[in-house]
Amino acid sequence: MTADDQLNGLTLSDAQRIVDHWITTVGVRYFSPLTNMAVLAEETGEVARIMARRFGDQSFKPGEKDDLGDELADLLWVVMAIANQTGVDLTEAFRRNLRKKSERDAHRHADNPKLKS
């Protein structure tokens, strides 16, 4: 089975297992949770840099990388690493979060005059 085959029909649980396997084999071990938090902040900054240049007033420097998908995937990777090392099941957490948002915001955005055009 190729790596691409592994990703067909990928679930959050599958992705968490793949990240765990990679970290504990190729990556040797998990970084500390605090280090991973710092890496998450760093990767968030890289997403912000691309967004500022693509959609804001800044321009790319010569040779500067413009791969938003790769940077967003880096964010997902670190989030999954943090979830793994802290015992968070992202599938269940996402399910609860969606339920919370659906109940809390059932009318909030539809009734927001700022969002009507």
pLDDT tens readout for residues 34-54: 999 999 999 999 999 999 999
Residue 58 lies in a domain: yes
Q: In total, how many domains does the chain have?
A: 1
The confidence score (pLDDT) of residue 78 equals 98
Kindly compute the dihedral angle of the four CA atoms of residues 97, 100, 103, 106, in this order, to the nearest 10 degrees.
-50
Does residue 78 lie in a domain region? yes
Place of tokens 């413009």: 66
Closest CA to 89 of 36, 39, 14: 14
DSSP 115: G
Give a yes or no: residue 102 inside a domain. Answer: no
| CA triple 39-44-48, angle to 5 deg | 145
CATH number of the domain where residue 18 is located: 1.10.287.1080
Residue 77 lies in a domain: yes
Tell me: pLDDT of 108 over 90: no
Average pLDDT over residues 83-88: 98
Q: What is the pLDDT of residues 66-79, one digit of tens each?
A: 999 999 999 999 99
Domain of 25 in residue numbering reads as 8-89
**Residue 15 within any structural domain of the chain:** yes
Measured over the CA atoms of residue 24, residue 29, residue 32 and residue 37, the dihedral's sign is negative
